[in-house]
Amino acid sequence: MTSRFDNVMNNLAKVPEVEEHMNKLHVQLAKLISKQRIQQGLTQSELVEIIKENGQDITQSQLSRIETGAGNINISTYEKVLGALGYESVEIMFKNQNVNRQMRQGYRKKKGRRKPSNRLIKADQKLIKS
């Protein structure tokens, strides 16, 4: 069953200029964050409170800007929101790409920080050179 959110997004994507805009990373993140927040039954205010309980600082205004796909949002701000929703940034980066399982798991946690594995660094270097 398709959700109301998915129906609206699918209809918007039929407009060429809108489709181009929706393919930008910040808009993709906005859709994911908004959809996950709604699926988890959270209001923006509730999500802000969860983020604050995790020791992070964010305002409802910032969350609103993120969910509308506003540009100029710092990646650390996305990570705060995604973390509160149960995601790690690496899951988002590779979700829709054809990347093997080992590379998706190429990030490992060390003392609470994400550290890229050598395999992932080499793959990134190959992409940059090509």
The residue ranges of every structural domain in the chain are 4-87
* Residue 7 near residue 56 (C-beta atoms within 8 A): no
pTM of the model: 0.55
**Which tops the pLDDT comparison, 9 or 48?**
48
Q: What is the largest CA-CA distance in the chain?
A: 46
b/e for 23-55, b at 16 or more Cβ within 10 A? eeebbebbbbbbbbbeeeebebeebbebbeeee
pLDDT at 99: 40
- The CATH H-level superfamily of 4-87 is lambda repressor-like DNA-binding domains (1.10.260.40)
22 pLDDT band, cuts 50/70/90, is low
What mean pLDDT, rounded, does the chain reach? Answer: 72
Residue 4 has pLDDT above 60, yes or no: yes
State the DSSP code for 63.
H
**Which tops the pLDDT comparison, 126 or 110?**
126
**Residues recorded for the chain:** 130
Q: pLDDT for 46-70, tens place per residue?
A: 999 999 998 999 999 999 999 998 8
